[in-house]
Amino acid sequence: MPILMILIFYSCEKVIDVDLNSASPKVVIEGIINNKPGPYKVSLTKTTDYFNPQDFPLISGAEVIISDNLGNTEILSEKSAGNYEASAIEGIPGRTYTLQVTIEGEAFSSTSEMPNTTLIDSITSTEMPFMNPHSENTNPQYRITCYFKDSVGVNEFFRIIAYKNKEKIPSFYLLDDKITDGNQLGYGGIFGNIYLGDTVDIELVKIDQKVYEFYNTLANIIVSGDGGRDVGTPANPNTNISNGALGYFGALAIDKKTLIIE
């Protein structure tokens, strides 16, 4: 019988050669401004062939500007190749920010509104009833629940980012309030080999709808991390940047709490 079980559930993985097209390189913009102290970073890279090494071409010499709806504007300085930083402009919830990037005469722009911060009420840990079968450590594992209150009557979009001992857990935890408007929420699905004694930082990141859609569609296709969601045909994430660039520009309102599992 065990033989049969093996046969039924037997599947094999093998690295193979696949002949992929070489797409012409595209501009990738990743820019963030948040309610924490700066500097705020914008990185400019390009796509590369899929089987190339992981060095993504960096775009130097671009003009990168962040401005807000009160008329504040800053031209970002290039700290290292492809990495641009803002040091003067402030990230304040409620303001709308615009990113303008010009690369060799080609202009890209994006706008993102920083929502009002939603505070974390509390975070708790719960022992998991069963183990991650892929883990070698057989000690009990924990999952984390993050509690917060959704505001009534406004569409709100959240992402929770969890860090275990300062290292980011690569899962995407996303939720909107379309069916839970105004409720006290407890997001209890945060786990990633968390054991007794670990320090867990939880960031509750509030974002606008476009950024939420970017994260949501990005999460569908990120293979690393334990996402693995089967959500149909893969497609490029829905970007909020104009003119066909990949990536996004997000204004994030973050609240953070720390928990030591004990």
- Would you tell me which residues interact with other proteins (CB under 8 A)? 1, 4-5, 7-8, 10-18, 20-23, 25-26, 28, 30, 45-54, 56, 129-130, 155, 170, 178-180, 183, 209, 213, 216-225, 230-238, 246-248
Asked if 210 and 241 count as a contact pair (C-beta separation under 8 A), the reply is no
Return the number of the residue (170 or 197) whose C-beta is nearest other proteins: 170
- Maximum CA extent, the chain: 73
Asked if 64 and 76 count as a contact pair (C-beta separation under 8 A), the reply is yes
66: left (phi over 0), alpha (psi -120 to 50) or beta: beta
The CB-of-31 to other proteins minimum distance in angstroms stands at: 11
The CB-of-28 to other proteins minimum distance in angstroms stands at: 4
Q: How far apart are CA 118 and CA 239, in angstroms?
A: 24
Q: What is the DSSP letter of 58?
A: B
Asked if 254 and 207 count as a contact pair (C-beta separation under 8 A), the reply is no
Return the number of the residue (19 or 71) whose C-beta is nearest other proteins: 19
Return the number of the residue (74 or 219) whose C-beta is nearest other proteins: 219
Return the number of the residue (246 or 261) whose C-beta is nearest other proteins: 246
Q: What is the DSSP string of 64-116?
A: EEEEETTS-EEEPEEEETTEEEE-SS---TT-EEEEEEEETTEEEEEEEE-PP
The CB-of-187 to other proteins minimum distance in angstroms stands at: 14
Q: How far apart are CA 145 and CA 158, in angstroms?
A: 14
Asked if 73 and 100 count as a contact pair (C-beta separation under 8 A), the reply is no
The CB-of-61 to other proteins minimum distance in angstroms stands at: 19
Asked if 159 and 172 count as a contact pair (C-beta separation under 8 A), the reply is yes
Asked if 192 and 212 count as a contact pair (C-beta separation under 8 A), the reply is no
The CB-of-70 to other proteins minimum distance in angstroms stands at: 25
The CB-of-256 to other proteins minimum distance in angstroms stands at: 17
The CB-of-119 to other proteins minimum distance in angstroms stands at: 20
Interior angle at CA 68, CA 62 and CA 71, nearest 5: 105
